[in-house]
Amino acid sequence: MSLEIWGGAAFRAGRVLWAAEELGLDYVHHDISSRDGSTQTPEFLRMNPAGKIPVLKDGDFVLNESAAIVSYLFDEYGTHREISARDRGHAASIVY
């Protein structure tokens, strides 16, 4: 697994980091801020032309928007037999 998460834990990326922790995933966290120019570098803009965080990179798949990322992580890596519909609903409600 080669998950990478970009964004500060105190902001919306915190939702993504929480989901990754709940799922027990191995990931690399890039603690960057949109206020210091980190999201405007050529490298970051190649990955996400909108220049926004959070961003998840899973291999060659890149996704932004915290709610979409959390849904993706639970769908892709969650063990649906162990995560009830109520738990999934609760996870979604925390994102919003």
Task: Give yes or no for residue 96 having a pLDDT over 50.
Answer: no
For residues 89 and 76, which has the higher predicted lDDT (pLDDT)? 76
- Average pLDDT value for the chain: 85
DSSP the chain: --EEEES-TTTTHHHHHHHHHHTT--EEEE---TTTTGGGSHHHHHH-TT--S-EEEETTEEEESHHHHHHHHHHHH--TTTS-HHHHHHHHHHH-
Q: The domain spanning residue 62 has which CATH number?
A: 3.40.30.10
The pTM of the full predicted model, rounded to 2 decimals, is: 0.79
Q: Where residue 84 falls among pLDDT bands split at 50, 70, 90?
A: low
Task: Give yes or no for residue 4 having a pLDDT over 70.
Answer: yes
80 is in which domain, residue-wise? Answer: 3-95
Q: Which bin fits 88, alpha (ψ -120 to 50), beta or left (φ > 0)?
A: alpha
The pLDDT, as a whole number, for residue 88 is 63
User: Which pLDDT tens digit goes with each residue over 47-77?
Assistant: 999 999 999 999 999 999 999 999 899 889 9
Look up tokens 């998840």; give the residue. Answer: 56
State how many domains the chain has: 1
